[in-house]
Amino acid sequence: MRRLIALALPLCALALTVTGTGGGAVSASCAKADLPLVNDGKLTIGTDNPAYPPWYGGGTPKGSKWKINDPSTGKGFESAVAYAVAKQLGFPRAQVEWTYVPFAKSYAPGKKSFDFDINQISYSPQRAKVVDFSNSYYDVSQAVVVLKGSKIASVRSVAGLKGYTFGVQIGTTSYQAIVGDIKPSSKPRVYDTNDKAVFALKSKQIDALVVDLPTAFYVSAVQIPNAKILGQLPAKPGGEHFGMVLQKGSPLTGCVNKALAALKAKGTLKKIQATWLSKVVGVPVLK
Amino acid sequence: MRSLSEGRRGVVVALLSTAVVFTGLGFAIVNAPGWPEIRRQFFDRHEFTSTFPDIASAFLLNVKIFCISEAFILVLALLLAVVRSLPGPVFFPLRVLAIVYADFFRGVPTILVITMLGFGAPALALKGVPTSTTFWGIVALVLVYTAYVSEVYRAGIESVHPSQAAAARSLGLSHGQSLRYVVLPQAVRRVIPPLLNDFIGLQKDTALVGVLGSIEAFKQTQIDQAATFNFTSGLAAAVLFVAVTIPLARFTDWLVARDRRRQLAGAPA
């Protein structure tokens, strides 16, 4: 019987934690008062911690729980976009709350702890089966970062990359770009964080790192001064874009999309991009 | 002596209580408000079959790591245990070293040892030092598990009655010979079950090597999870791990039972 109880306990715990569902009331109105919010009167926005440049900026004020950058500074691309969307929805800065959401938590089942999550998450039809994605707030391409003067630094084509060891952060579409487009002969190394992948490149455990282009600028300019962007990988048909993640079937998704469309029409999104992201000109596309 | 009907009643009660507990649990889970979501994201048949082959091939790395480390651990841990049981004041520093080693590597979380070694050692950029992440993962596992297993061996050595060693010495065997021919054969046989128990732990801990970037089974499930936002691949990995662990666990049980039979066989009726 003791063995039985030992078996039953975790199952009980599972049963107890499995509460709450997706969905929610369907409201067509995007008036602030009608929005179904996680916390009343506040727009709760999620992102991962640490918050990396160029997506987040401004450092961390004293007493902040955040590492590297505090999203509430309004600095950095995603922070600026989030505040612009919030404003469009009728929330001044004081009514915006940031919450820490590890990547895996953003798509875990159950009631979400955020109204939307903005964390460089690429849209894919498979992912969209379990969460809602907003429309694109950034069209992204993948880039290859290598050490200056290394053997791979003189490669000019995707086919030429096959013989090298790649590193990548787990859970990224950069991983799919490696196994799907580059198809290297040895398995890529997959790291839990981008920092570990960067460290691996620095210490020459890998020949190249694949990241999204804005991150590539940050890695090559700040994290490894001895690195350079070898080039962008050719865009896939339909391209790749970042979307905010929301509870599946959330009525808020339509409102966020409306806000994004308005920001695009006004040119605000373009302006934010020009402020926080390096210009992508001058990065060759690997054929 | 219990009567037959009493024994039969026990079986019936066990069956009934089992049925009640599991039906209740199943009912509670399936009727939880979040169950449809959980079923979609944790128990998706299509996701299971489509991710299984990749995870199975990644699992080969776990098996490889396990087999290589196990061989080293068995030998090194025995050495460490022997060093720790060396008699005499001359060997005091060696004994202290062995104790410090066992205390340190049993105290530090395995994942920490793997991370520090796996990222640190190759970054030294020393000539001749391998940069393979799997290599350093194996080294870390060997370091940690040698500490555990040496304690198991030591318990075995100490469980052999001192009169055995004394008898061996009185026959003219040296300390080394009495250890080799009298103490260790008895000690090792006694600790086989706990030894195998540690190896079941080791089998699972091979998944920790994934933090270094090697794609083993658990890492592969994380990759699949992130690609589809579906956790079902974890179930596929669990099936593989269990498939290896259960035979080892039953083998351990069988060994224990056989040992018991042998010991009892010599006892007076």
Measured over the CA atoms of residue B152, residue B158, residue B161 and residue B165, the dihedral's sign is positive
pLDDT (mean) for B227-238: 91
DSSP A248: T
Asked whether residue A9 is domain-assigned, the answer is no
The residue of chain A with its CA nearest to that of B125 is: A203
- Residue B170 in any domain: the answer is yes
Residue B88 located in a structural domain? yes
Q: Which of B234, B254, B134, B150 is nearest to B195 (CA)?
A: B150
Cβ distance B29 to A126 less than 8 Å, yes or no, reads no
In terms of CA atoms, which chain B residue is nearest residue A10? B25
Name residues whose C-beta falls within 8 Å of residue B59's C-beta, 6 or more positions apart in sequence.
Answer: B216, B217, B237, B240, B241
Contact check, Cβ <8 Å, B34/A19:
yes
What is the model's pLDDT at position B35?
Answer: 86
Q: Does A60 touch chain B (CB under 8 A)?
A: no
Tokens, residue A272: 């934010």
B30 within domain boundaries: no
Note whether A114 and A175 are same-domain residues.
Answer: no
Whether residue A35 lies inside any domain: the answer is yes
What integer best gives the mean pLDDT of chain B?
89
Residue B233 lies in a domain: no
B chain contacts of residue A21, beta-carbon cutoff 8 Å: 33-34, 36-37
Answer whether residue A12 is part of any domain: no
Please determine, for residue A139, whether its predicted confidence score (pLDDT) is greater than 80.
yes
Which residues in A lie closer than 8 A to residue B29 (C-beta atoms)?
11, 14-15, 18
Q: Is the peptide bond before A237 cis (omega within 30 degrees of 0)?
A: no
Q: Report pLDDT for A56.
A: 93
- Residue B48 — pLDDT band, cuts 50, 70, 90? very high
Q: What three-state secondary structure class fits A144?
A: strand
- Report if residue A52 sits inside a domain: yes
The verdict on A52 and A191 lying in the same domain is no
Please state the domain count of chain A: 2
Mutation pick from A105, A189, A195, A209 vs chain B, by most beta carbons of B within 10 Å, is A189
The domain in which residue B163 lies consists of: 64-213
Q: Residue A222 is part of a domain; what is its CATH number?
A: 3.40.190.10
Q: What pLDDT, on the 0 to 100 scale, is given for residue B106?
A: 93
* Ranges of H-type helices in chain B: 4-30, 35-42, 45-84, 92-107, 110-123, 133-159, 162-170, 175-178, 184-205, 217-228, 232-265
Does a structural domain hold residue A126? Answer: yes
The reply to whether the predicted model has a pTM over 0.90 is no
Same domain? A47 vs A122: yes
Domain shared by A153 and A247, yes or no: no
From the list B14, B22, B213, which residue is nearest A191 (CB)? B213
Among candidates B18, B40, B227 on the partner chain, residue whose Cβ is nearest the Cβ of A126: B227
Domain holding A209, by residue range, is 142-232
Number of domains in chain B: 1
Q: Which residue of A has its CA nearest to B121?
A: A203
Measured between CB atoms, does A15 come within 8 Å of chain B? yes
In a domain, A17, yes or no: no
Please indicate whether, in this complex, the C-beta atoms of B215 and A196 are within 8 angstroms of each other.
Answer: no
Task: Answer yes or no: do A33 and A132 share one domain.
Answer: yes
- Chain B residues within 8 A of A1 when measuring between CB atoms: 14, 17
> pLDDT tens across A145-199, in order?
999 999 999 999 999 999 999 999 988 889 989 998 999 999 999 998 888 999 9
Q: Average pLDDT of chain A?
A: 87
Q: Is the residue at B117 inside a domain?
A: yes
**Is B237 within the bounds of a domain?**
no
| CATH number of the domain residue B138 falls in | 1.10.3720.10
Instruction: Give the pair of three-digit tokens for residue B182.
Output: 């009298």
In a shared domain, residues A92 and A165: no
Minimal C-alpha gap between B33 and chain A (Å)? 6
Residues 6+ apart with CB under 8 A from A210: A142, A143, A144, A145, A166, A167, A168, A174, A175, A177, A178, A182, A233
Portion of chain B with pLDDT greater than 90, in percent: 54
The tens digit of pLDDT for each residue in A3-35 reads: 444 544 444 444 444 433 333 334 468 888 888
Does residue A211 surpass a pLDDT of 80?
Answer: yes
Residue of A nearest to B38 (CA): A109
Strand pairing partners for A43?
Answer: A96
The pLDDT assigned to A19 comes to 36
Tokens of A163: 């013989």
DSSP A159: G
Shared domain check, A251 and A181? no
pLDDT at position A246 is: 95
Query: Which run of H or E residues covers position A242?
Result: strand A240-242
Chain B residues closer than 8 Å to A127 by CB: 227-229
Structural domain contains residue A97: yes
User: Amino acid identity of A14?
Assistant: L
Angle, alpha carbons B34-B37-B38 (nearest 5°): 80
Per-residue pLDDT averaged across B37-51, rounded?
A: 88
Residue B107 lies in a domain: yes
Between A8, A21, A205, which is nearest B25 by CB? A8
Residue A183 falls within a domain, yes or no? yes
Contacts of A109 in chain B (CB under 8 A): 34, 37-38, 40-42
Contact A241, A118 (CB under 8 A): no
Asked if the structure places residue B219 within a domain, the reply is no
What is residue B175's predicted lDDT score, i.e. its pLDDT?
86
